Amino acid sequence: MAISTVDLQAAAGAPAPTPKAAKRQKFRFISNGKTMTGLIILGFYVLLAIFGPILAPYDPDARGSDLIAAPSAAHWFGTTHLGQDIFSQVLAGARGVVYVGLLAGLVATALAVIIGVSSGYLANTGGEALSALSNVFLVIPALPLIIIVASILPSVSNTTIGLVIGFTSWAWGARVLRAQTLSLRGRDYVDAAKATGESSWRIIFFELLPNLTAIIASSFVGTVIFAVLSEITLAFIGVSDPSDWNWGTILFWAQSQQALAQGAWWWFVPAGLAIAVLGTALSLLNFGIDEIVNPRLRSSGRIKGKSVRMRIGFTPVLGKDNR
């Protein structure tokens, strides 16, 4: 019969080694490199949306004598066919894009949480009705609906666009939250809360929602990405007010005036880069949240003091150099 090391030490009178308590990693959300990079870039865009119009060196609508001028010390991003400063337009246009994205994200996330969690937890007619409502909104196209609303209203503001996008883009998040809530509804701690007489709404707020935080955050980021792209698309096709500056409006005027054919690359490249960097920041933030939720997606970790790399679909093992 094999005798363990602990038994030998106990027989010799030596104290048995006490197991070390595993240290819980704090601030995992911030310590993730992708998440931190996305937060920094997103914070810069929020500051740009707040102070951009103030920092703009020129009035975005002011016309000048330098027509389609290349970037220079006077005009960092060049000018348009009317002599308007493109750098000022990019700074002023950040506010509308960020505002519409955050407004639509907040509205859609709030509706997704209310309808998705409620339909997943309430096993009655009300829950089935909320689930059916989610299925109906899944097939409603947001972009054509915004175009129809824009054709009816005398003027379309950023608030109107953000609300329409938010009210039509919550269904996917609600379906994901409903599925996760159905899984959590049968857990032991939920049954214990029911046995102690806790009300349904208290169980939802204090037992279920804390375990759905990462999914809610990921749903919010995904909705913001969709709202930003939708706002820029609407401005590019001329649905929104052309005098209300955002990056899509800049691309609209560049396309209508044949900027590419005239070789005026400075007219559309800065706005395109601003859109790409913002989308990258939101995507990095979303990837970081996914890595926190799903351990298989974490880029690295440690097992018994040795580094290990996680691979999707495979059990992580130590490399040959670490054995």
Q: Is 314's pLDDT higher than 50?
A: no
Q: What mean pLDDT, rounded, does the chain reach?
A: 79
Q: Is 68's pLDDT higher than 80?
A: yes
Compute the distance between CA of residue 191 and CA of residue 203 in angstroms, rounded to an integer: 10
Q: What average pLDDT score do residues 147-151 get?
A: 76
Q: Is 323's pLDDT higher than 70?
A: no
User: What is the per-residue pLDDT for 199?
Assistant: 78
pLDDT digit string (tens) for 91-111? 988 988 999 999 999 999 999
Compute the distance between CA of residue 225 and CA of residue 110 in angstroms, rounded to an integer: 16
Closest CA to 247 of 87, 122, 137: 87
pTM over 0.85: no
Q: What average pLDDT score do residues 224-253 get?
A: 84
SS3 307: strand
Q: Is 296's pLDDT higher than 80?
A: no
User: What is the per-residue pLDDT for 29?
Assistant: 55
Q: Where is pLDDT greater, at 69 or 305? A: 69
Q: Point out the least confidently predicted range of 10-24, 127-141, 267-281, 289-303.
A: 10-24
Q: For residue 9, what are its two tokens?
A: 């030490």
Alpha helices (runs of H) in the chain, residue ranges in sequence order: 5-11, 28-31, 33-55, 86-121, 125-138, 142-152, 158-168, 171-184, 188-195, 200-203, 213-236, 247-256, 269-293
SS3 79: strand
Q: What average pLDDT score do residues 32-60 get?
A: 87
* 79, β-bridge pairs: 85
